[in-house]
């Protein structure tokens, strides 16, 4: 009996049709292509730009020519599979692990495993040949993430950026959250006519513009790349392009030519997203912000799984650290959950930040808590956690001259 007859009989046994079973040949992987986010056209420099406070390794010139329309890259020629070998079915890594140990959590029937394979075909991303990665070895990248909203992630991102700058590092904060709110935390408020709230990384590249051109200095000596104010249509278009081009963020950061030893803080929206995939593909350290409550505790396995999926196999990835925010020792349940989380996470806990009203008050005055209440509990906790992050990144804290 032929292979196709075997498959047909098997599917009839489980009430399915053989046409629902599709094989993906290895040759198909070579034919997939990714639509690249348009790059910046390099033209002859006519006027050097001023570097921001030692953040960039060299000044970049403004391009004098208009940016040409960039067409999608043509798909490479498919590589024929060896005629003597039958095509193998490609399975997503997470499912492959599950199928390799089908009895780890209880026996899986053949029918359920076939159903999972059929589902993977609908959800699997386009595959492509191995691509050269952008070189980011001269900088350290910290991704600040959370599994759910309302945990103080952007507040932590901004205050951490200030704390790291106070330790003597050149710091760039990148706002990858569509709320476009990080500039409030860093005291960067637009003057009338200033394009801060419209210009940003989510906007289409214009003639002669680079990320260095939209980088905003702040009163706390942290430089900011804002997300930019975009409407819903533009946001969806931008996110679709990020999904098509998984190396977009790596290329953009490499193109900035930051000075050696610079630190980059990436603020992301909560939960799974294309932004999270982008930052996990470049981060040296992931800082997970969580509250000490039941809802946050229940989301820890999900965010841990995402980190392992998108960052776990990179040699430059140093792991994830967990920061427990708004700890309130006057509430017994809060204390108990904090202790449970510390026991469960062990040395992955970077530190605790206690509930301190001065942290939220600082935002009202567009300040960091280090400036608003430098002797308060919140400022003390932020600095302690920043020192722990520096230690995990294995870089010395060198005071500025």
Does the predicted TM-score (pTM) go above 0.95? no
Q: Output the six-digit token pair for 34.
A: 């990714």
Residue 208: left if φ>0, alpha if ψ -120 to 50, beta else—which one?
left
Q: Any residues with CB less than 8 A from the CB of 321 and at least 6 apart, and which?
A: 285, 286, 287, 288, 348, 349, 350, 388, 389, 392
Residue 111 confidence (pLDDT): 62
**Residue 229: exposure state from Cβ atoms within 10 A (0-12, 13-18, ≥19):** middle
For 58-84, letters b (16+ CB in 10 Å) and e give eebebbeeebeeeeeeeeeeeeebeee
Euclidean distance between CA atoms 238 and 243, whole angstroms: 9
- Which residue ranges of the chain lie beneath pLDDT 50? 10-11, 21-52, 61-76, 79-107, 124, 126-130, 400-401
| Residues facing residue 353 across a β-bridge | 325
- pLDDT for 375 equals 95
**Residue 64: CA count within 13 A, CB half-sphere:** 5
Burial 341-379, CB ≥16 within 10 A → b, else e: bbeebeeebbbbbbbbebbeebbeebbbbbbbbeebbbb
Copy the structure tokens of residue 326: 């708004």
pLDDT at 116: 60
- Tens-place pLDDT, residues 296-312: 999 999 999 999 999 98
DSSP H or E run through 62? strand 61-63
Residues facing residue 168 across a β-bridge:
none
Which 8-state DSSP code applies to residue 293? Answer: S
Length of the chain: 401
Long-range contacts of 211-218 (CB under 8 A, 24+ apart): 211/252, 211/255, 211/256, 212/49, 212/51, 212/52, 212/56, 212/60, 212/256, 213/49, 213/62, 215/52, 215/55, 215/172, 215/256, 216/183, 216/188, 217/52, 217/53, 217/188, 218/183, 218/186, 218/187, 218/188
Six-digit token string for 277: 């995939």
Answer yes or no: are the C-beta atoms of 260 and 398 closer than 8 Å: no
The set of residues, in sequence order, having a beta carbon less than 8 Å from that of 23 and lying 6+ positions away, is 87, 89
Cα angle for residues 175, 322, 244 (degrees, 5° grid):
40
d(CA 253, CA 239): 18
Q: How far apart are CA 134 and CA 147, in angstroms?
A: 28
Residue with tokens 């980190």: 307
What top-level class would CATH report for the domain 140-393? alpha beta
Q: What's the confidence (pLDDT) of residue 205?
A: 66
**DSSP-assigned letter for residue 177:** S
Q: How many CA atoms lie within 13 A of 11 on its CB side?
A: 16
Q: Give the DSSP letter of residue 367.
A: -
Residue 56 is predicted with a pLDDT of 75
| CA gap 134, 252 in Å, rounded | 9
Q: Which pLDDT value is given to residue 235?
A: 93
Rounded to whole angstroms, what are the CA distances from 268 to 45, 159, 236, 366?
33, 15, 16, 20
Query: Domains of the chain: which residue ranges?
Result: 87-125, 140-393
SS3 (DSSP) at 269: coil
Q: Round to whole Å and give the CA distance between 359 and 144.
A: 18
């Amino acid at each position: 009996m032929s292979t196709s007859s075997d498959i047909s009989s098997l599917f009839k046994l489980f009430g399915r049709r053989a046409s629902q079973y599709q094989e993906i040949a290895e040759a198909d992987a070579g034919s997939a292509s990714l639509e690249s986010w348009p790059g910046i056209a390099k033209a002859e420099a006519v006027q050097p730009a001023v570097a921001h406070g030692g953040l960039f390794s060299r000044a970049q010139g403004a391009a004098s020519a208009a940016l040409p329309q960039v067409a999608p890259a043509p798909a490479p020629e498919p590589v024929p599979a060896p005629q003597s070998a039958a095509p193998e079915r490609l399975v997503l890594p997470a499912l492959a692990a599950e199928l390799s140990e089908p009895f780890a959590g209880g026996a899986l029937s053949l029918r359920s495993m076939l159903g999972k394979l059929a589902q993977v075909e609908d959800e699997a991303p386009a595959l492509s040949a191995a691509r050269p990665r952008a070189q980011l070895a001269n900088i350290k990248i910290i991704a600040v993430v959370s599994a759910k909203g309302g945990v103080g992630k952007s507040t932590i991102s901004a205050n951490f950026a200030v704390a790291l700058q106070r330790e003597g590092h050149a710091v760039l904060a990148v706002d990858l959250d569509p709320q476009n709110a990080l500039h409030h935390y860093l005291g960067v408020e637009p003057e009338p006519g200033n394009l801060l709230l419209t210009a940003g990384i989510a906007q289409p590249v214009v003639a002669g513009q680079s990320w260095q051109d939209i980088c905003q200095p702040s009163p706390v000596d942290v430089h900011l790349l804002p997300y930019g104010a975009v409407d819903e249509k533009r946001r969806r278009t931008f996110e679709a392009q990020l999904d098509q081009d998984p190396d977009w963020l790596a290329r953009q950061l490499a193109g900035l030519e930051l000075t050696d030893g610079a630190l980059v803080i990436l603020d992301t929206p909560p939960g799974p997203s294309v932004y999270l995939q982008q930052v996990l593909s470049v981060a040296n350290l992931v800082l997970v912000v969580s509250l000490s409550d039941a809802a946050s505790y229940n989301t820890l396995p999900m965010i841990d799984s995402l980190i392992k999926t998108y960052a776990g196999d990179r040699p430059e990835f140093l792991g994830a650290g967990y920061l427990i925010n708004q700890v309130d020792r006057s509430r017994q349940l809060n204390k108990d959950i904090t202790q449970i989380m510390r026991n469960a996470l062990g040395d992955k806990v970077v530190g605790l930040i206690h509930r301190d009203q001065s942290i939220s008050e600082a935002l009202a005055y567009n300040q960091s808590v280090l400036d608003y209440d430098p002797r308060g509990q919140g400022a003390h906790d932020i600095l302690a956690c920043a020192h722990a992050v520096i230690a995990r990144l294995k870089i010395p804290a060198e005071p500025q001259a």
